[in-house]
Structure 1
Amino acid sequence: MSDSTQKVINSLKKRHRKEKVFRAAGATAIGFGFLLVFLLITDIITKATPAFKQNWIAIEVDFQPDLLGIDGLDLTRLPKGDYRTVLRSAIFEMMPEVSGRRDKRSLFGLISSSAEFEIRNHLVANPADLGKKVTVWVKVDDDVDSYLKDDVVVGEPGIRISEKQATWIKKWVDSELIESRWNSEFFSLGDSREPESAGVKGALTGTFYTMLVTLVLSFPLGVAAALYLEEFAPKNRWTDFIEVNINNLAAVPSIVFGLLGLAVIINIFGLPRSTPLVGGIVLTLMTLPTIIIASRASIKAVPPSIREAAMGLGASRMQVAFSHVLPLAMPGIITGTIIGMAQALGETAPLLMIGMVAFIVDVPGGITDPATVMPVQIYLWADSPERAFVAKTSAAILVLLGFLLIMNSFAAFMRKKFEKRW
């Protein structure tokens, strides 16, 4: 074997060895990325699991008219009764061995602050129970709920349960007065300062309205701008100037769009703060460059032969653009829209600037009602000191990911529907 042949063989071995190393490095990088995603999702699910359960306690409530401070014959006054007194009486009667003002205050603190509204709602829904003693299930306080879920020891950091309170809780558990249930109210209630009563319905509804406004404004504007620039606009310095600015806008920090919305949309045009309408307009400004750039790339990818064939058959430029080019480019356009909407769905900074960080309990009924969105809700809960909000934050992240998955699945379906081959 000649020296030149041996050099070629050695060179091939070296190249093959480098190729194997590169493939191994690429596979390792992909595996490491999947591992990190798996650990992240696992950690979120583990922390979120307690939020989907809620502990309730059964108490014997005596709905006597004199305790409620109402006339027993006037059922219209049921919502205005003194249910706090009725609740305190029921709790102290359930634990007669507890005496002293401080101990009674500690005992009453084990019940959720929403309990009096829950027994009020029970009586309003069942007016026949007036004058009777009935069993009503109410939520326990978030500290008790966390204590029971986490199986912790009194005295640990973050545990706000005393030894005496732990004894009372153990008695309730042994008496089967406490029951863990599926927390459906997490999906049916708005925000609350009490973790046991906090839900995501308000933020989820606000997110839906905000994304709806964003889609309705950004999709037609972005597609129209891309179609004009690619199919109709003359190639001169003005269109070059527009293209450069569109590319630059795609790299502008999102908080700048929030400042623009605050200065122009709210202060000049006078639109209401903290509404999905304003939030959608701000997110539209932010997502338009992404949609325009992706749409232009998709339109440019349509073969020139399609245009030439249509024009050869007598079609006008407008007919070519809307009947041939746009349908063929639609899958790529929808992909760019998905990217822009996914970016908008996770944005927090621009919405903070227009007031969507406000504490809003009510579920919005339209695009002009005060609202917040899921990323802002997660931000607010993550900043709360209560232990129970840790689980609520992780659960809200799962809901946000689910919302994103549904939105992307619908977009993928639409992309497949419009996809055409040539």
Structure 2
Amino acid sequence: MSAVAQDSSMSDSDAAETVGRFDNPALMRRRRREEVRFQAYGLIAIALGMSFLVILFGTIIRDGWTAFFQTSIELPIKFDAAEIDPDGTRNANALAQANYQKLANQALYGQLGVDPSSRAQRQAANALVSRDVDSQLRAMVASDPKIIGTTQNVWVLASGNVDAFAKGKIDRELPQENRQISDQQISWIDKLTASGAMEKSFNTGLFTNTASSQPETAGLAVALLGSFYIMLIVVLLSVPLGVAAAIYLEEFAPRNRITDIIEVNINNLAAVPSIVFGLLGLAVFINFAGLPRSASLVGGLVLTLRTLPTVIIATRASITAVPPSIREAALGVGASKVQSVFHHVLPLSLPGIITGTIIGLVQAIGETAPLLMIGMVAFVVDVPSSPLDPATALPVQIYMWATEAERGFVEKTAGATIVLLGILAVMNILAMVLRKRYERKW
């Protein structure tokens, strides 16, 4: 009885002490200050993080939005038969070897009033148009030889420096010796702009052109198709293998030392630097299996290995989140273990599996180091027709453009980054939509 009374008295004293603390105004003010201070620290951390994010995306958009527009010049080009096909045979080899750059330059001289006898004026005028204009005109003649002997108004790409000046990337107020455009060239640009012969339009070449040493004609066609092939291989391999492995480990595998070792290794593989997977792909898929370098197939296999741990971990977490009562109810009405898993557990865990899979794919599409290790940094000018052809990927293309010295590649790098971020945003939004669509509550 005395012990019970003692405990009761102690409880009463503790309660009184607690009430006394709440009655102490100084103590309460200090606690409120601590709470306000902690909330302020949290708000400051969020504000710093958001400010860095705004600076990052603001810089990328500021430097890259102009990459989606391209400056072109309209020229009345005379497809002189004496220059293109002097023999009149329409031989394909002869047509391909003609000097089309000369035809574009002559049309430009006439439009600008350039003195052909002045070498300095000729060189300054030649620098206004892209050096790849000959490829454009050659393709026109190859597709329609009937234009030989006629004069056609053709929109040709301006050079990288002219495009940068038209977009405001080169300040005309700078002294002539400090900019890449001369005063004479600026006067010609103003003349062409005033006459409507120079204008900016949407740059479809950013998505349809292949690799080029000239920034105005460089595009993402090879990188986009290469990334598509890589992601297709990753989806076809990592999703079924990862989901099957997760189901077995979570529902069917016995709990012993072997499965413990497997689980530890899967968790460790998820944290392994991605370049290690590149070394593995170089050793196994290229040096041992003999698969071609720079091929999307090898890139897909390497990124499949990189994505598998993420898919397995996400799938196991989703399966674990399903209440045990679902399994017990299915088994109670006579369902087999396999039926309870595939008819009840797997459908209920589908939202988490989809989310984890898309997160793994988002991680894979942004990887660069493994693809560098397997040689996907080649200068590829032909669009790949299959996963076995040489290709590159979006993050690798961004890396290659970032190392170029030409001014025009700066905006190309930022523009390609915007494209990549757009793809990642779409994939993340898709993950949220699918999760919301298939989510079930119990």
Which TM-score band (shorter chain)?
over 0.9
Contact 1:72/1:130, CA 8 A, preserved across alignment: no
Select 1:256's aligned residue among 276, 292, 300. Answer: 276
Contact 1:143/1:159, CA 8 A, preserved across alignment: no
Letter in 1 for 2:405: P
Select 2:253's aligned residue among 203, 217, 233. Answer: 233
- Counterparts of residues 3-402 of structure 1 (less than 5 Å): 7-10=21-24, 11-72=27-88, 74=90, 78-79=95-96, 81-94=98-111, 95-150=113-168, 151-153=170-172, 155=175, 159-402=179-422
Write out per-residue CA displacement over residues 304-328 of structure 1, whole angstroms, 9 at most, x where no aligned residue: 1111111111111111111111111
C-alpha displacement of 1:228: 0.8
Contact 1:147/1:159, CA 8 A, preserved across alignment: no
Write out per-residue CA displacement over residues 49-101 of structure 1, whole angstroms, 9 at most, x where no aligned residue: 22111111122211221121344463866555432332233233333325333
Write out per-residue CA displacement over residues 192-242 of structure 1, whole angstroms, 9 at most, x where no aligned residue: 111000111221111111111111111111111111111111111111111
Contact 1:59/1:135, CA 8 A, preserved across alignment: yes
For the residue of structure 1 that corresponds to 2:76, the secondary structure is strand
Letter in 2 for 1:339: I
Contact 2:85/2:95, CA 8 A, preserved across alignment: no
Cα 1:157–1:34, aligned 2, differ >3 Å: closer, same or farther? farther
Cα distance in 1 for residues equivalent to 2:193 and 2:441: 65
Cα 1:228–1:4, aligned 2, differ >3 Å: closer, same or farther? closer
Cα 1:99–1:228, aligned 2, differ >3 Å: closer, same or farther? same
Cα distance in 1 for residues equivalent to 2:298 and 2:157: 37
RMSD, matched Cα: 2.3
Cα distance in 1 for residues equivalent to 2:117 and 2:191: 16
Cα distance in 2 for residues equivalent to 1:415 and 1:364: 34
Cα distance in 1 for residues equivalent to 2:355 and 2:90: 62
Larger Rg: 2
Cα distance in 2 for residues equivalent to 1:261 and 1:225: 21
Letter in 2 for 1:193: S
Contact 1:75/1:127, CA 8 A, preserved across alignment: no
Contact 1:155/1:162, CA 8 A, preserved across alignment: no
Bigger drift between 84-93 and 263-272 goes to 84-93
Cα distance in 1 for residues equivalent to 2:152 and 2:19: 97
C-alpha displacement of 1:382: 0.9
Q: Return the TM-score normalized by structure 2.
A: 0.88
Write out per-residue CA displacement over residues 277-322 of structure 1, whole angstroms, 9 at most, x where no aligned residue: 1111111111111211121111111111111111111111111111
Unaligned 5+ segments in structure 2 are 1-15
Cα distance in 2 for residues equivalent to 1:157 and 1:376: 35
Letter in 2 for 1:131: G
Cα distance in 2 for residues equivalent to 1:333 and 1:134: 58
Letter in 2 for 1:47: D
Cα 1:205–1:159, aligned 2, differ >3 Å: closer, same or farther? farther
Q: Which residue of 1 is the match for residue 11 of structure 2?
A: none
Contact 1:190/1:199, CA 8 A, preserved across alignment: yes
Cα distance in 2 for residues equivalent to 1:358 and 1:155: 39
Q: Return the TM-score normalized by structure 1.
A: 0.92
Cα distance in 1 for residues equivalent to 2:432 and 2:385: 29
Q: How many residues align?
A: 421
Letter in 2 for 1:42: G
